[in-house]
Structure 1
Amino acid sequence: MATRHRAFRTAAPSRVALGLLLLLQGVPALAGPNLQAVMKTLGDDLCRASGALVQEDYPTLAEAARAIADHPRPGMSERLKILAGLGTDAERFRSADSAVQDAATSLAEAAEREDALAAAAHYSLLVEQCVDCHAGFRQRVRALLHP
């Protein structure tokens, strides 16, 4: 019995290491979408929100805003590469992502209340947060992912 437990203890770290190795090598089932795909979807959702806002289509506006707020994260390999490459600015990058999520959540809530003026203000803030993040990080992140 003790031999079996010892074998399990020695096998477990190697299984964990193998799992991490596969994850970092970008196994599709574990890697998640790449950043470019995430950004494309976010752009599509932002356009959908814009159209819904001017048409006062509140259900579509709320849905698009929630999709932005709850957007998928890039795969672990890309996230680690980005955060490591940004160094001390990694926390600022995370804060920028949180600001986008907060603005999108506020937009969704305004849409659910069918409050056109609040929705317009939150949409404007959302776009501002997106532009700020791109201005601060887009070129650096591109260089990290596509040297």
Structure 2
Amino acid sequence: MKYNINTILTGSFFLLVFAGLAVAHYQNQDQDTDSKQDAETESITQPLELPTIMRMLMIDMHTINEGIFTQNFDLIEQGAANINDHPPLSDESRSLVQNTLGERMSQFGAYDKVVHGTADSLRGAAQNQDMNRVMKHYNMIQQGCVSCHAAFQEEIRYERLRRQARNRD
């Protein structure tokens, strides 16, 4: 046999631990639903920094992508809803973006509207289990994100890092 007994025992141990954690998670999922919803609502309404929101949106895109590949319309709907309902920008991040982009802020806003409006359409397509519409809207969201990043990401990142360095001094 290619594997020794220690490898098999270690693998089995971690498999059992993982299975136990999964069972515990699903058993506790029904408990404290109201407090979880309150916490989720609070976190959605609490403003966050731009990099944090962007990471959350990236995770939501991964969720949609997984839903597409597994044809899990609930995952697609969840990811689209999260994109559409992400937390607002913090005042500091909003100021950073506005001051950095100046008059080009309207273009940034246009990209944002496309992504949010299309995420809402994607959610509807997922609810109707229409994969062709899901793909159409997913590609539009992805194009909106990439276009906005190509236009502004480097400039905003540079200014954010410049401000952080200035504040350290």
| Band of TM-score, shorter chain | 0.7 to 0.9
Is the Cα–Cα contact under 8 Å of residues 69 and 102 in structure 1 kept in the other structure? yes
Q: Is residue 140 of structure 2 the alignment partner of residue 125 of structure 1?
A: yes
Q: Where do 1:65-76 residues align within 5 Å?
A: 65-76=80-91
Count of aligned pairs: 118
Q: Percent identity?
A: 25
TM-score, normalising length from structure 1?
A: 0.76
In 1, the alpha carbon distance for the partners of 2:100 and 2:124 equals 35
1:31 Cα deviation (Å)?
Answer: 7.6
Q: Where do 1:1-147 residues align within 5 Å?
A: 32-147=47-162
1:33 Cα deviation (Å)?
Answer: 1.4
Is the Cα–Cα contact under 8 Å of residues 53 and 87 in structure 2 kept in the other structure? yes
1:56 Cα deviation (Å)?
Answer: 1.2
The higher relative CO (CA closer than 8 Å, separation ≥ 6) is in 1
Q: Deviations over 1:104-142 (max 9, x none)?
A: 111111000000111011111111111001001101111
In 1, the alpha carbon distance for the partners of 2:142 and 2:50 equals 18
Is the Cα–Cα contact under 8 Å of residues 83 and 119 in structure 2 kept in the other structure? yes
After TM superposition, which residue ranges in structure 1, 4 or more long, deviate above 3 angstroms? none
TM-score, normalising length from structure 2?
A: 0.66
Unaligned runs of 5+ in 1: 1-29
